[in-house]
Amino acid sequence: SQQGEEDPQALSIQEGENATMNCSYKTSINNLQWYRQNSGRGLVHLILIRSNEREKHSGRLRVTLDTSKKSSSLLITASRAADTASYFCATDARHNQGGKLIFGQGTELSVKP
């Protein structure tokens, strides 16, 4: 399979706590992206980190990328009940045409009020 792997598969935390999700992938990449999916809906883009970047922030989101280990992590700080969703990492492999993303299996996050 070309897919990367994410862990944990499921994560349950209390509101206000931080949530960390990890992603590993197999090939050299142009960039790595994180998406969010609310139940029954399409995926929404959260953040993109390029292969020459090591860390990126967007609001309460912090993404790190370690290309030597082919891994990334997504940190959501001060989580809210509204953050309950599935989170997917996706890689845009080097030499691919833009837009041909390979997705991980996702992490299901549950934030309890």
Per CB under 8 A, residues contacting another protein are 1-3, 9, 30-31, 33, 35, 40-45, 48, 50, 88, 90, 92, 97-106
Closer residue to another protein in complex, CB, 69/100: 100
Within 10 Å of residue 37's Cβ, how many Cβ atoms? 15
Which own/partner pairs from 53-62 qualify as long-range (CB within 8 Å, at least 24 positions apart)?
61/34
Residue 2: φ, ψ to 5°: -85, -10
Is the separation of the CB atoms in 58 and 46 below 8 Å? yes
* Nearest CA-CA partner of 30 in 62, 52, 55, 2: 52
50 or 54: CB nearest another protein: 50
Kindly state the smallest distance separating residue 113's Cβ from another protein, in Å: 26
- Least Å from the CB of residue 96 to another protein: 10
Residue among 83 and 92 whose Cβ is closer to another protein:
92
CB of 49 to another protein, least distance (A): 10
